[in-house]
């Protein structure tokens, strides 16, 4: 069955495009969630996945004499034996941690049956992540990829870093639906991962925002190599219609300029479709389990910021009860 196109079940049409101004305004919604390992107990990133997310690292500053009151756990016993007097190793926390967003804007994302297209939801998720990362003092960069082009943006801090990423996402979003996707469009996912591997050298957080269309064994190999020296977090964008094909009779689905007509009233077709989607979901879950990669499943039918807070953020009532208490994140 072809991916793409958009129809609405329940009135109105899914929002097809997003503007730069709309993504800029999401700055005020980027609160109540964090990608750092210290998470509330109900967070999807707590427990096993939290141990994989390293958070900020430590930089070695100096080796100096031990003074009364120093933490004995910082004593360098090899240096102490070599120099004949107690010495400690002094570290400082890294000032920031680069975050690399891989943002999918291919034709497979130009689909939506509810609130917005998957491409719009991916753009919103990327914008929220960029605003949140830079608000906490970290740098953000991106690989934004579509059917025909890929743009790489080096990590940069503060508002300017977020704006560079968001502007490129908005630009590529506007090009969707302009024509038939090339036959090699699925392969753009692996090309983006290869580019990410060259950019993310060590202890980065790589956040993949995609519907994972075209994922194959090479995708698994590339993700595995990325996880060797970095953390990988997947934000999987999906639409309810992809999980359960409704009986609406004959319907036309499109991907860019290509279209296909199917008879959704066929029980066999709906059963095969459900089986294929279930098997695909199991493969994705298996990758997450084997590589300890958190997968945040974001639906097109609800506001993205709310879903992020529910999956990885603090409950709003808890935040309200502790308002004014320290850095949020």
Q: How far is CA 239 from the centre of its chain?
A: 16
Please enumerate in sequence order all residues whose Cβ is within 8 A of that of 178, keeping only pairs 6 or more positions apart, or say none. Answer: 256, 257
In this prediction, residues 213-228 reach a mean pLDDT of: 90
Give, rounded to a whole angstrom, the gap between the first and last alpha carbons of the chain. 41
Provide CB contacts within 8 A for 198, sequence distance 6+.
none
Judged by DSSP in three states, 63 sits in strand
Q: Smallest Cα–Cα separation from 100: which of 46, 138, 45? A: 138
* pLDDT (tens digit per residue) in 266-299: 666 667 766 666 666 666 666 666 666 888 999 9
Q: Which residues pair with 153 in a beta bridge?
A: 142
pLDDT, tens only, 117-163:
999 999 999 999 999 999 988 899 999 999 999 999 999 999 999 99
Which are the contacts of 62, defined by CB distance < 8 A and separation ≥ 6?
Answer: 89, 90
Mean residue pLDDT of the chain comes to 79
Q: Is the pLDDT of residue 91 over 80?
A: no
Helices (H), the chain: 20-25, 48-52, 77-83, 118-135, 158-174, 188-199, 217-229, 240-243, 267-291, 304-312, 316-321
What per-residue confidence (pLDDT) applies to 141? 97
DSSP-derived pairing of the beta strands 250-255 and 258-263: antiparallel
pLDDT in tens, 44-66: 454 444 445 555 555 566 788 88
Would you state the structure tokens that stand for residue 146, as one six-digit string?
């579509």
């Amino acid at each position: 069955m072809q991916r793409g196109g958009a129809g609405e079940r329940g009135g109105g049409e899914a929002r097809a495009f997003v503007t730069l101004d709309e993504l800029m305004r999401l700055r005020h919604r980027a609160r109540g969630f964090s990608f750092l390992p210290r998470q509330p107990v109900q967070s999807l990133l707590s427990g096993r996945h939290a141990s994989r997310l390293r958070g900020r690292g430590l930089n070695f500053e100096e080796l100096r004499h031990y003074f009364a009151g120093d933490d004995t756990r910082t004593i360098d016993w090899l240096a102490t034996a070599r120099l004949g007097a107690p010495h400690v190793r002094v570290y400082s926390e890294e000032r920031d941690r680069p975050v690399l967003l891989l943002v999918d804007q291919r034709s497979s994302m130009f689909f939506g049956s509810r609130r917005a297209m998957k491409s719009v939801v991916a753009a919103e998720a990327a914008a929220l992540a960029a605003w949140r990362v830079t608000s906490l003092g970290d740098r953000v960069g991106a690989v934004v990829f579509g059917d025909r082009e890929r743009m790489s943006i080096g990590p940069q801090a503060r508002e300017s870093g977020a704006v560079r990423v968001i502007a490129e996402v908005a630009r590529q979003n506007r090009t969707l639906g302009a024509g038939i996707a090339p036959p090699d469009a699925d392969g753009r996912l692996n090309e983006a991962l290869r580019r990410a591997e060259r950019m993310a050298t060590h202890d980065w957080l790589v956040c993949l925002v995609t519907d994972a269309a075209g994922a194959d064994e090479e995708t698994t190999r590339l993700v595995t190599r990325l996880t060797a020296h970095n953390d990988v977090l997947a934000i999987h964008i999906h639409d309810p219609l992809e999980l359960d094909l409704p009986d609406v009779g004959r319907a036309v689905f499109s991907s860019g300029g290509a279209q296909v007509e199917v008879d959704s009233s066929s029980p066999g077709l709906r059963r095969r479709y459900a089986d294929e989607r279930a098997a695909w979901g199991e493969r994705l879950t298996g990758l997450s389990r084997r590589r300890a990669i958190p997968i945040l499943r974001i639906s097109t039918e609800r506001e993205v910021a709310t879903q992020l807070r529910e999956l990885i953020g603090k409950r709003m009532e808890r935040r309200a009860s502790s308002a004014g208490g320290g850095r949020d994140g």
